[in-house]
Amino acid sequence: MALPWLLRLELTLFVAAFLCGAVAAAALTRTQGSFGGSCPLYAVAARNGSSLALAQPSASSLCYFVAGVSGFLGLYCLLLLLFWIYSSCIEDSQRGPMGLRIALATSALAIFLLLVSACILRFGTSSLCKSIVSQNITNSCPAAQKIRWIPPGTALQFYSNLHNAEMSSWVNLILWCMILMLQVVQKKSQATSYQGDPEWSSETDVLVGTHLSRS
C-alpha cells in the first residue's frame, strides 16, 4: 500500500533526524572518550607549563544525558522508519487518530529534550573555551586543539567534535519541529476527513440529537 505523501515526507525527515542524532551522539562520545571518560562540558581547564589539563570536569552524567538523548531519538527514528516500510509492503496499515496523538506527544517531547541538549552543548562548550583562553596559553578554542594536553593523547579534536555535536543537535531540533508541523497538518486533515464521512456525520447527529432531547 502506498503511504500518504505527507507521511512519506515525514519519514524522509526522520531519516535526516536519525543521521543528525547519530552524528551528535558519536561526536560527543568521542570527545568524552578522548578525555578519559571525563565530561568537558562546563569543565575548567588548568595550565601546566606549556600544557593544558582538564582540572575540574563536569559530571559524566551530563554528557551521558546529551549523547543519550541524541542516540535514543535517532534509534526511535530508525525503528519508526523500518516499521512504516514494513507496514507499506506487507500490511494494509494506516495511522489512526490515537496513533497520531501519540506521535504528536512524542514529537513535542523530542523537541523539548533536543532544545535542552543543544543549549547544554552550546553553553557548556562556551564555558570550557572561556576557561581555556583565560589560561593565556592560546587565544582561541580551536587553536587549543594543537596544544599539548596532560595526559598526552587527550583532547584530540575536542572543539571540532563538540562543534559538530552542537550543530547536529540544532539541525535535529529544526527537523523535529518540521515533523511536528507535518503531524499537525495530518491531524487537521484527518479531522476534516472524519467530518466529511457520512457514517461519522450520522453517528454525530444521533449523539447530538440525543443530547438535545435530554436537555
Domain span holding position 199: 5-214
For the entire predicted model, the pTM comes to 0.83
**Tally of domains in the chain:** 1
Alpha-carbon span 101 to 84, nearest angstrom = 17
pLDDT value, residue 75: 95
Alpha-carbon span 167 to 100, nearest angstrom = 29
Could you give the C-alpha distances from 152 to 83, 142, 146, 160, in angstroms and in order? 46, 18, 12, 18
- Mean residue pLDDT across the chain: 84
Residue 52 Rama label (left phi>0; alpha psi -120 to 50; beta): beta
* pLDDT tens-digit map of 119-177: 999 999 999 999 999 988 888 888 888 888 887 666 778 899 999 999 999 999 999 99
* pLDDT tens-digit map of 23-67: 999 999 999 988 888 999 999 998 888 888 888 899 999 999 999
* Rounded average pLDDT over 196-212: 43
pLDDT value, residue 198: 52
* pLDDT tens-digit map of 73-110: 999 999 998 888 887 777 656 777 888 899 999 999 99
Q: Which of 170, 167, 146 is nearest to 158 (CA)?
A: 146
